[in-house]
A and B are shown apart, each in its own frame.
Chain A
């Protein structure tokens, strides 16, 4: 639901960076989105398209890489993918903060991020 404000931050950040580097246009933006973030990728792409119209990002390609949800267990020191559980009654699959190894409580160490990894710029000629 907050994809529009996220897309706006992304576009503003990229424009500032491109201007700083005297770029003519931006051809690609590579974004990393954590699987445990609450961002909808389809909506994010749609908002990005709307917001980049008539800017130096207009023809840019938005590349999205997904970051896996990783957890750390304080008890058994497990570090790895977050446990996914299924509720057979409702046919719902959901992540849980239970340690996949010992059943203890885990902390999320990655998968919540959203960051701009890199951008491709075209420099002004002359």
Chain B
């Protein structure tokens, strides 16, 4: 005897979904990267904690490169325009991306920012992510290179405590080397921590206050 079992109305049934939640952002990031490539524009995603020196580093990079490239900066911040105002003083075009309460930039916000600039008039974009050593790592933006800034004043453990963002990085900048001794933090230990997490990463020590190490950052970014 053959039996056919069909679900009754009101019965629970399973639906296989395989709906990617993070992948949606990855796809948008790929679209951003295609847009950038089509226009011959390079983009650098600058990540790092609050106060590590992301804005200072970007200011120095603009000063260093603004005769060679036409530069824009996308500034990700919760609500303020403090960083944008600082960067704008150096003559680069600045787009402020206010995330509201979100802890990171995502590919969609960057896509909107890309639509608000004339890419024909640009060669290089620095994207300053929201100050945070965790979430930005998870959200690709479509940038050519991802750079993480840490500073010795954040203490000796920040790299090993946050390995995931360093796994995503192409370049790690260790800033405020002039304060290393007072902080009792060793540059070499931080450098070896970064390489221990990600053997491919390029590690550069800087003092953004004086501009020390900035040439090496440019070299490491290949720009």
Contact = CB atoms under 8 A, between A and B. Distances in A.
Interface of A: 1-2, 5-6, 9-10, 13, 17, 21, 24, 27, 36-39, 85, 87, 90, 92, 94-98, 105, 108, 112-126
B163 A123 contact: no
A98 B195 CA distance: 9
B198 A97 contact: yes
Nearest to B198: A97
Contact of A2 (B7, B11, B103): B103
Consensus secondary structure, chain B interface: mixed
A112 to B, nearest CB: 7
A108 B167 contact: yes
A71 to B, nearest CB: 10
B197 A2 contact: no
A97 B18 contact: no
Interface string B22-65: 11100000000000000000000000000000000000000000
A2 B196 contact: no
B85 interface: no
13 contacts: A2-B104, A2-B135, A10-B21, A17-B15, A38-B165, A108-B167, A113-B20, A115-B20, A115-B22, A117-B16, A118-B14, A120-B14, A120-B15
Interface string B146-157: 000000000011
